[in-house]
C-alpha cells in the first residue's frame, strides 16, 4: 500500500507534461475542468456576438445590417452555441472541478474518457461555426431545426447535425463519468443523503442526459436521412409526419432545459448556506424536489407544441403536468428563503449572484406558469413573451448561477481572491442591463410581436430600441468578468483553505489552490 502511495506522489510531482501537451493529454479533473470552463466562455462570447448582431438589426424597424436569411442563421446558431457550447459545458466544467473535491475523491472515475469527452467539443464547435462558410450558409431554421424547413437548408444543416451528434456523444460520456464517480468514489461515511446538494443535482442531471441525448441523436439522424437518403420520416407526401419530429425533439428538449437548470440549483444551494452561515433548510426535500422535477420534466414535452394542434385531452394532460412542476420548484425557492431567514448574512459577489438568481429565476417561473396555461399560451407561443421567459430562466437562471459559482470557487481554483469591487460591479451591471433587455420583451410578446423576425411593425419600435440598448450593455458588462478572472489567475491576495467563513463542504478542507490530486487519502465523514 505504501509503495503504491509513493508512486502516486512521484507521479503527481514529476511526470505530468507541461505546455500544450499538458492540456492535450490531460487526464486531470482540474485541468479538464479548466478547459471546459474556458471553452464555454469562448462559446459564450461567440454566441453573444451573434445576439448583439441580432439586437443591432432589431434596434430600428426596417432592414439595416443583415439580410433576413443571415438573420435566421444568427438566431439559429445563437441558440445552438449558447445551449450546447456555453451553458452545458460550463456545468460540466464545474462538475469536473468540484465533484471529486466535494465527495473526497482524488479525481474522476474515468480519467482518459474525461479527456476524450472534452476534446470532442472543439471539433464539434468548429463544425457548427464552420457551417457559416458552407454553400447556403449556416442552418436557418431556428435551434429547434423543425422540418420541413430544415430539409430545405444547404449542407450547413448536415454540418450542424454532425456537430450535435459529436456534442451529444461528449455529453453522454461526461455523464457516465460523473455518475460513476459519484456512485463509487465517495469518501467513507458519505452516504447519498450526506452528499452536498451540488453533487446531488449533477447526479440527477447526468441521468437525464443519458436518457435524452440519444433521443436527440435519433431525431437528427432521421432528419439527416430525410435530407440525403430519400427517407420520409417527416415528409407528409411520403407518408411521414412533420409533427412527429417535434414530439421527438421536445422529448429531448424539455428535459434539456432542466439539464441546464438543475446544476444551477445545486450551485445556489451551496452558496446561500455559506453566506447565511446557516445550514440549508430542508435538505432532503431539496433532493426530493430535484428528483421530482427531473421525472416531471420527461412528461411535459408537448407544452412546446400547444399551437401545433392536438386533441383536447392531450392539451389538458400536458397543461396539468406542466403546472405541477411549479410545486417542487416553489419548494426550492421557499427553502432558499428559509435558509436565509435568521441567518447572519454577508453579501459577497457569489451571494449577490445567488440572490439575483432566485429573484429573476422566480420571475421566469411566473411567466412559465403563464405559458403553461393553454389558452394564454395560444397567445404567447412563438412570441417575444416566450423569448423573455426562457432568457429569464437561462440567463438570469443558469448563467447567473454559473457566475455565482465561478466567484465562489475561484479562490479555491487559483489560490487568489478575486477583486470584490469589480465582482460587485459585474453583478449590478449584469442585473440592470439584463432586465433592461428582457423585461420589455414581455410587453412586446403580449402586444403581438412574433419571435424570429428580422423586421417588425412600428408599434414595437420603442421597446425594441430599449431592449437593444440593454443587450449591448449586458454584453459589454461581461468583459468585466473576463478581466476579474484573468486578474485573479495572475495574482491577488492569498486565499486561505477555508476562504469563506460559513463554507462547510469538503473542498474547503483542501489548501487553496487545491492540490493536483484532490484527496490522496480519503477523508472520513462522520
Partner 1 sequence: MSSKAAAGVAGIVAVAWNSGLAMAAADPYQLNLPEPQTVIAQQIYDQHILVLWICLAIFIGVFGVMFYSVVKHRKSKGYEAANFHHSTTVEIIWTAIPFLILVGMAFPATKTVIAMKDTSNPDITVKATGYQWKWGYDYLTGEGEGISFLSNLATPKSQIDNAAPKGENYLLEVDNPLVVPTGKKVRVLLTANDVLHAWWVPALGVKQDAIPGFIRDVWFNIEKPGTYRGQCAELCGKEHGFMPIVVEAVEPEKYAAWVAGQKTKLAAVAVDINKEFTLDELKAKGEAVYSANCAACYQANGQGVPGTFPAIAGSKVATGAKAEHINIVMNGKSGTAMAPFKHLSDVDVASVITYQRNSFGNSTGDAVQPSEINQLR
Query: Burial level of 210, CB count in 10 A (0-12/13-18/19+)?
Result: middle
201 classed as catalytic: no
Stretch of 102-110, 199-207, 255-263, 346-354 contacting partner 1, by CB under 8 A: 346-354
Three-state secondary-structure class, residue 280 = coil
x-or-dash string of contact with partner 1, 61-80, rule CB under 8 A = xxxx--xxx--x--------
Q: Rule CB under 8 A: which of 20-49 touch partner 1? A: none
Does the footprint of partner 1 cover residue 337 (CB under 8 A)?
yes
* Contact indicator for 357, 405 with CB cutoff of 8 Å: no
Min CB(102)–partner 1 separation in Å = 19
Min CB(203)–partner 1 separation in Å = 21
78 classed as catalytic: yes
C-alpha separations of 382 from 77, 304, 307, 405, 415 in Å = 18, 9, 9, 32, 46
Distance CA 192, CA 523 (A): 16
Distance CA 204, CA 199 (A): 9
What angle, rounded to 10 degrees, do the helices at 29-57 and 461-490 form? Answer: 150
Q: Cell 437593444: give the residue.
A: 468
Nearer to partner 1, 237 or 486 (CB): 237
329 classed as catalytic: yes
171 classed as catalytic: yes
Q: Rule CB under 8 A: which of 378-407 touch partner 1? A: 378-379, 381-383
Min CB(164)–partner 1 separation in Å = 18
Which one among 41, 110, 392, 460 touches partner 1, defined by CB under 8 A? 460
Catalytic hit among 78, 412, 426, 442:
78
C-alpha separations of 385 from 122, 378, 381, 444 in Å = 33, 12, 8, 7
Nearer to partner 1, 36 or 456 (CB): 456
Min CB(178)–partner 1 separation in Å = 27
Distance CA 239, CA 137 (A): 30
Min CB(161)–partner 1 separation in Å = 15
* Contact indicator for 290, 207 with CB cutoff of 8 Å: no
Catalytic hit among 186, 254, 278, 412:
254
313 classed as catalytic: no
Distance CA 326, CA 264 (A): 17
11 classed as catalytic: no
Q: Rule CB under 8 A: which of 434-453 touch partner 1? A: 439, 443, 446-448, 450-453
Three-state secondary-structure class, residue 429 = helix
Which one among 37, 140, 173, 219 touches partner 1, defined by CB under 8 A? 140
Min CB(255)–partner 1 separation in Å = 21
Q: Rule CB under 8 A: which of 479-518 touch partner 1? A: none
Does the footprint of partner 1 cover residue 299 (CB under 8 A)?
no
Three-state secondary-structure class, residue 273 = helix
The DSSP bridge partners found for residue 494 are: 416
Distance CA 23, CA 115 (A): 9
What lies within 8 Å, CB to CB, of 185 at 6+ separation is 100, 103, 105, 109
Does the footprint of partner 1 cover residue 132 (CB under 8 A)?
no
175 classed as catalytic: no
Stretch of 7-15, 44-52, 158-166, 458-466 contacting partner 1, by CB under 8 A: 458-466
The C-alpha angle 32, 525, 185, rounded to 5 degrees, equals 35
Min CB(464)–partner 1 separation in Å = 10
Q: Cell 461526461: give the residue.
A: 174
Min CB(27)–partner 1 separation in Å = 38
143 classed as catalytic: yes
Stretch of 82-90, 259-267, 342-350, 415-423 contacting partner 1, by CB under 8 A: 342-350
User: Cis omega (within 30 of 0) on the bond before 148?
Assistant: yes
Catalytic hit among 170, 205, 367, 383:
170
Distance CA 339, CA 351 (A): 13
Which one among 283, 390, 407, 500 touches partner 1, defined by CB under 8 A? 283
Does the footprint of partner 1 cover residue 331 (CB under 8 A)?
yes
Catalytic hit among 165, 278, 304, 412:
304
Does the footprint of partner 1 cover residue 324 (CB under 8 A)?
yes
384 classed as catalytic: no
Q: What is the DSSP letter of 230?
A: -
* Contact indicator for 212, 251 with CB cutoff of 8 Å: yes
Catalytic residues: 78, 107, 143, 170-171, 254, 256, 258, 269, 303-304, 329, 332, 451
Amino acid at each position: 500500500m505504501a509503495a503504491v502511495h509513493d508512486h502516486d506522489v512521484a507521479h503527481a510531482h514529476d511526470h505530468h507534461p507541461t505546455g500544450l501537451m499538458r492540456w492535450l493529454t490531460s487526464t486531470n479533473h482540474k485541468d479538464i475542468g479548466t478547459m471546459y470552463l474556458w471553452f464555454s466562455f469562448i462559446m459564450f462570447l461567440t454566441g453573444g456576438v451573434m445576439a448583439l448582431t441580432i439586437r443591432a438589426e432589431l434596434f430600428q424597424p426596417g432592414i439595416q445590417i443583415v439580410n433576413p436569411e443571415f438573420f435566421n442563421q444568427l438566431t439559429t446558431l445563437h441558440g445552438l452555441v449558447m445551449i450546447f457550447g456555453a451553458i452545458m459545458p460550463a456545468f460540466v466544467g464545474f462538475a469536473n472541478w468540484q465533484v471529486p473535491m466535494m465527495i473526497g475523491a482524488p479525481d474522476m472515475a474515468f480519467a482518459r474518457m474525461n479527456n476524450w469527452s472534452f476534446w470532442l467539443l472543439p471539433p464539434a464547435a468548429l463544425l457548427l461555426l464552420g457551417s457559416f462558410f458552407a454553400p447556403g450558409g449556416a442552418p436557418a431554421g431556428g435551434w429547434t431545426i423543425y422540418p420541413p424547413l430544415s430539409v430545405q437548408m444547404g449542407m450547413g444543416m448536415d454540418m450542424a447535425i454532425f456537430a450535435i451528434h459529436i456534442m451529444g456523444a461528449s455529453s453522454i460520456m461526461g455523464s457516465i463519468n460523473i455518475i460513476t464517480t459519484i456512485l463509487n468514489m465517495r469518501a467513507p461515511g458519505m452516504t447519498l443523503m450526506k452528499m452536498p446538494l451540488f453533487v446531488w443535482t449533477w447526479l440527477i442531471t447526468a441521468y437525464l442526459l443519458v436518457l435524452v441525448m440519444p433521443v436527440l441523436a435519433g431525431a437528427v439522424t432521421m432528419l439527416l436521412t430525410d435530407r440525403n437518403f430519400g427517407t420520409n420520416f417527416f415528409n407528409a407526401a411520403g407518408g411521414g409526419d412533420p409533427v412527429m419530429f417535434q414530439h421527438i425533439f421536445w422529448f429531448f428538449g424539455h428535459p434539456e432545459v432542466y439539464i441546464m437548470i438543475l446544476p444551477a440549483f445545486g450551485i445556489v444551494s451551496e452558496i446561500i448556506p455559506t453566506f447565511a452561515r446557516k445550514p440549508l433548510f430542508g435538505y432532503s426535500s431539496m433532493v426530493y424536489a430535484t428528483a421530482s422535477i427531473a421525472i416531471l420534466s420527461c412528461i411535459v414535452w408537448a407544452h412546446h407544441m400547444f399551437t401545433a394542434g392536438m386533441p383536447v385531452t392531450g392539451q389538458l394532460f400536458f397543461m396539468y403536468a406542466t403546472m405541477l412542476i411549479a410545486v417542487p420548484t416553489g419548494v426550492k425557492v421557499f427553502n432558499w428563503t428559509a435558509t436565509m431567514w435568521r441567518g447572519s448574512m454577508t453579501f459577497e459577489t457569489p451571494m449577490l449572484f445567488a440572490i439575483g438568481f432566485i429573484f429573476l429565476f422566480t420571475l421566469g417561473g411566473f411567466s412559465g406558469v403563464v405559458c403553461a396555461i393553454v389558452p394564454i399560451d395560444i397567445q404567447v407561443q412563438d412570441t417575444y413573451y416566450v423569448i423573455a421567459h426562457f432568457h429569464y430562466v437561462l440567463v438570469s437562471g443558469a448563467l447567473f448561477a454559473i457566475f455565482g459559482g465561478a466567484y465562489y470557487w475561484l479562490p479555491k481554483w487559483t489560490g487568489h481572491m478575486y477583486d470584490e469591487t469589480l465582482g460587485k460591479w459585474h453583478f449590478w451591471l449584469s442585473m440592470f442591463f439584463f432586465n433592461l433587455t428582457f423585461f420589455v420583451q414581455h410587453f412586446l410578446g403580449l402586444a403581438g410581436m412574433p419571435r424570429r423576425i428580422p423586421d417588425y411593425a412600428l408599434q414595437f419600435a420603442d421597446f425594441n430600441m430599449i431592449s437593444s440598448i440593454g443587450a449591448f450593455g449586458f454584453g459589454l458588462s461581461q468583459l468585466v468578468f473576463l478581466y476579474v478572472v484573468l486578474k485573479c489567475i495572475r495574482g491577488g491576495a492569498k486565499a486561505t483553505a477555508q476562504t469563506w467563513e460559513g463554507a462547510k463542504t469538503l473542498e474547503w478542507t483542501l489548501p487553496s489552490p487545491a492540490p493536483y490530486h484532490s484527496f490522496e487519502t480519503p477523508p472520513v465523514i462522520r
